[in-house]
Amino acid sequence: MAKLKLGPIADDKPVKVTLELPASLHRDLISYAEILGREGGQVAADPVRLIVPMLERFIATDRGFAKARRGNHISVNKKVDP
């Protein structure tokens, strides 16, 4: 069994996002979704649904980002006037 950084993807209300990915990254997302599905005993998730949890996981585990955010007192929910 592979030790993946992502667990099961929550069934949340989808939001439409449009972006372009390199073909190699898209293939990797498809492979990851297939492995994740196999590991969880489920059907492979839509690879696009992996992007948000991967970004959340990346940001949550980036020590440099956490340190910079603490040092600059940046709030995720803080509104900035234009």
Per-residue pLDDT tens over the stretch 28-43: 999 999 999 888 888 8
What type of residue is 63?
A: R
In whole angstroms, give the CA distance from residue 34 to residue 44. Answer: 5
pTM of the model: 0.63
Which two tokens mark 13? Answer: 């209300």
Token pair 């996002």 in the structure block, residue: 17
Find out whether 54 and 33 touch, Cβ atoms under 8 Å: no
* Tens digits of residue pLDDT in 42-76: 888 888 889 988 998 898 898 888 888 888 765 55
Question: What 3-state class would DSSP assign to 5?
Answer: coil
Which tens digits make up the pLDDT trace of 12-23? Answer: 777 677 889 999
